[in-house]
């Protein structure tokens, strides 16, 4: 599968959100918006009030919140909604909310959560996000051990969109891609760079180049 880079936006204000969307819109197919409620993770981002009337684009909402269905039902459109498996017991409520707003359903899993918890839900999802850091903050170190989850998912679901998120940079991106992830979310490796367009292109290029000469 072709590697695809997804810029991840983690901000606290609408002004910053719009600025970052403006920096990457048109350069990528999808943009991730990280939403944190200060309960599921120890950080709080922009809330629902800042998400109205966004520039036209395909968004992937990464819901790091308790009761994600209550948030999803407020966001209309064909966006991807990534829900943490740690926040649900059944998929019924989120499935209903995603359907109501015309969105698509994806699942996310934290580093400490065993893959077995996720597997029964995968057939109902269009995408799985394997967290390669503990969610909450940008700029953390990629946890290589999470690649076993990616490999197993790829083996079980050859056509599934598998995304990694957290610590993806010019070095780790090739490891993530060669372990089976085709979607590569990155925040600091894109937004902390001066040349945003170049940073996105380089991540994709490095993913394709493979990692045979690197050690970790």
- Active-site residue list: 34, 165
Q: Between residue 55 and residue 94, which ones bind ligand DX5 under the rule CB under 6 A?
A: 62
Residue carrying the six token digits 């170190």 = 141
Only segment of 16-24, 153-161, 183-191, 204-212 that touches ligand DX5 (CB under 6 A): 183-191
Task: Encode 142-162: b = buried (16+ Cβ within 10 Å), e = exposed.
Answer: bbeebbebbebbbeebeebbb
Residue carrying the six token digits 């017991």 = 89
Task: Give the residue with the Cβ less far from ligand DX5, 128 or 187.
Answer: 187
Q: Between residue 155 and residue 174, which ones bind ligand DX5 under the rule CB under 6 A?
A: 165-168
In a 3-state reduction of DSSP, which class is residue 143? Answer: coil
Only segment of 11-19, 21-29, 146-154, 187-195 that touches ligand DX5 (CB under 6 A): 187-195
Q: Between residue 102 and residue 121, which ones bind ligand DX5 under the rule CB under 6 A?
A: none
Output DSSP code: residue 37: B
In a 3-state reduction of DSSP, which class is residue 31? Answer: strand
- Rounded CA gap, 89 and 84, in Å? 10
Task: Give the residue with the Cβ less far from ligand DX5, 68 or 167.
Answer: 167
- Rounded CA gap, 106 and 76, in Å? 16
Task: Encode 112-139: b = buried (16+ Cβ within 10 Å), e = exposed.
Answer: eeebeebbebbeebebbbbbbbebbebe
Closest C-alpha to 171, from 193, 202, 140, 145: 202
Task: Determine, following the binding rule CB under 6 A, whether residue 10 of this chain makes contact with ligand DX5.
Answer: yes
Task: Determine, following the binding rule CB under 6 A, whether residue 187 of this chain makes contact with ligand DX5.
Answer: yes
Out of 110, 138, 178, 182, the residue judged to bind ligand DX5 by CB under 6 A? 138
Out of 139, 201, 210, 214, the residue judged to bind ligand DX5 by CB under 6 A? 139
Out of 164, 189, 200, 211, the residue judged to bind ligand DX5 by CB under 6 A? 189
Tokens of 101: 């707003």
Instruction: Supply the minimum distance, in Å, between the C-beta of residue 192 and ligand DX5.
Output: 8
Task: Determine, following the binding rule CB under 6 A, whether residue 38 of this chain makes contact with ligand DX5.
Answer: no
Query: Which positions touch ligand DX5 (CB under 6 A)?
Result: 8, 10, 34, 62, 133, 135-140, 165-168, 185-189
């Amino acid at each position: 599968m072709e590697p695809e880079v997804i810029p991840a936006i983690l901000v606290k204000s609408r002004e910053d959100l719009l600025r970052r969307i403006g920096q990457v819109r048109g350069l990528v197919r999808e943009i991730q918006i990280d939403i944190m409620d200060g309960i599921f993770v120890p950080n709080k981002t922009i809330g629902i009030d800042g998400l109205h009337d966004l520039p036209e684009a395909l968004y992937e909402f990464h819901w790091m919140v308790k009761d994600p269905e209550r948030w999803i039902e407020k966001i209309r459109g064909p966006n991807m909604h990534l829900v943490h498996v740690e926040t649900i017991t059944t998929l019924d409520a989120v499935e209903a909310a995603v359907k109501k707003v015309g969105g698509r359903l994806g699942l996310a899993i934290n580093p400490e959560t065993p893959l077995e918890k996720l597997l029964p839900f995968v057939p109902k999802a269009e995408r799985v996000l394997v967290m390669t850091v503990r969610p909450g903050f940008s700029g953390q170190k990629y946890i290589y051990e999470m690649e076993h989850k990616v490999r197993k998912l790829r083996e079980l679901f050859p056509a599934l969109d598998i995304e990694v998120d957290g610590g993806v940079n010019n070095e780790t991106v090739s490891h993530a891609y060669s372990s089976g992830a085709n979607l590569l979310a990155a925040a600091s490796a894109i937004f902390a760079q001066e040349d945003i367009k170049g940073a996105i292109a380089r991540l994709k290029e490095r993913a394709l180049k493979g990692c045979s000469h690197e050690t970790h």
